Amino acid sequence: MNILILGGGGREHALAWAVMQNPKCDRLIVAPGNAGISAIAECASFDVEDGAAVTNFVEENTIDFVIIGPEAPLAAGVADRLRDAGVLVFGPSKAAAQLEASKRFTKEICVAANAPTAGYGHFTDADAAKAYVKEQGAPIVVKADGLAAGKGVIVAMDEETALEAIDDMFGGTFGGAGAEVVIEEFMDGEEASFFILVDGENILPMGTAQDHKRVGEGDTGLNTGGMGAYSPAPVLTDQIQSDVLEQIIMPTVQEMAKRGMPYQGVLYAGLMIKDGKARLVEYNVRFGDPECQVLMMRLGGQVLDMLQAAAEGRLNDTKANWATDHAVTVVMAAQGYPGAFEKGSAIKGLSGLPEDSSNMVFHAGTTQRDGQIVASGGRVLNVTARGETLQEARDRAYAMVDGIDWPEGFCRRDIGWRAL
């Protein structure tokens, strides 16, 4: 089977690494890829958000299966163009990708599906939004409706912050994404993520994870794309997982099908857990990054069969072979991230590290220059390990971190603290 993966972050390196382990994979191309991916697969360069460009590439290279990593090509309708051309593809249609691309859409689906989530109001003008905040009081959460690269959510602990956020959003801080605003009830509790494959009708849970969004130890400081993650997430007990599937996931899948926009791909449910009950914070229509890295390490080569079954509508007779172990990934980022950071510093020591089914350094923002690996982004490496226990996985990951010689980088030393 010839396979194309779209994307070039740590998530796609982990997907490529897992897919490659499956004997069904004859040829693997990743676009655009990165320096780590180029060590295990071919990399190609074309506009991955342009459906026609992707379809041309697929036809010229006799690709049998396309796996779409990030949300941007999905929200741009790349999966639709590929399906129109008769190509097997993993990832939702543009219509179904609204579950990530529009907060209002997701809230409407939750209401129709009777899925537990925060109460909300939806606004297209600042005055009405402000009146709602004054009526509800703080804490309260203000969200730009559209995709805002994870920055469109303000959790306001006081009214003033919420009112400022409304002015910012309608003032154009998030461009078109902020032209509509959702204001939500603040939910207290512990956050965790649940990843579920969906084939339009049937589901197959893939695993749970928790990430660390804040840049500083003890979960302090600015928000980031994620500074590390671990799987499984102990807060998502078997009972909570089965409640979530029954009360949130299946009703969502059924509602999407009823609206003529069946969901096919991975559904990433961000959940808030309090007193043994989960409520939906958000959906994403792709794997989390870095959560994907720990999921892939625990699932290995079977991932290809699972994604293919989702794409072919066969999840009802597909089983996952569950690992009972733990995995941890530590993100190494360029100093300054998530603020301004330098690119181009050399990373040494990688070739001395173990690379096997229990230890992998997945690359995010890296590139090759003069035979060296250099940093080319904010989040640069995802140092990933598994173990019988979370502690063992974490010790192995930090042992690898200590073998990396990159003075211009940093990481948090406390990934997994909540679960330990």
The residues binding ligand GLY (CB under 6 A) are: 211, 225-226, 284, 288-289, 291
Q: Which option in ligand AMP, ligand GLY, none does residue 288 bind, with CB closer than 5 to 8 A by kind?
A: ligand GLY
Q: Which stretch binds ligand AMP (CB under 6 A): 55-63, 166-174, 185-193, 374-382?
A: 185-193
- For ligand GLY, the closer CB: 294 or 373: 294
Tell me the DSSP string of 327-366: EEEEEEEETTTTS------EEBSGGGS--BTTEEEEESSE
- The Cα–Cα gap between 296 and 11 comes to 9
- For ligand GLY, the closer CB: 226 or 262: 226
Q: Rule CB under 6 A: which of 255-274 touch ligand AMP?
A: 270
- For ligand AMP, the closer CB: 44 or 155: 155
- For ligand GLY, the closer CB: 191 or 392: 191
CB 293 within 8 A of CB 362: yes
- For ligand GLY, the closer CB: 284 or 384: 284
- The Cα–Cα gap between 219 and 414 comes to 9
Q: Closest distance between ligand GLY and the C-beta of residue 133, in Å?
A: 26
Taken in order 141, 144, 147, 151, the sign of the CA dihedral is negative
What is the token pair recorded at 183? Answer: 């204001």
For tokens 């939906």, the residue is 280
- For ligand GLY, the closer CB: 144 or 309: 144
What are the two backbone dihedrals, phi and then psi, of residue 193, each rounded to the nearest 5 degrees?
-120, 145
CA angle 396, 399, 403 (to 5 degrees): 140
Count of CB atoms situated within 10 Å of the CB of 348: 13
Q: Rule CB under 6 A: which of 100-129 touch ligand AMP?
A: 118
Would you count residue 184 as binding ligand AMP (CB under 6 A)? yes
Q: Closest distance between ligand GLY and the C-beta of residue 122, in Å?
A: 22
Answer for which of 12, 71, 199, 282 binds ligand AMP (CB under 6 A) is: 282
- The Cα–Cα gap between 338 and 224 comes to 6
Answer for which of 58, 141, 206, 309 binds ligand AMP (CB under 6 A) is: 141
Residues lying near ligand AMP in the complex (CB under 6 A): 118, 141, 153, 155, 184-187, 191, 270, 281-282
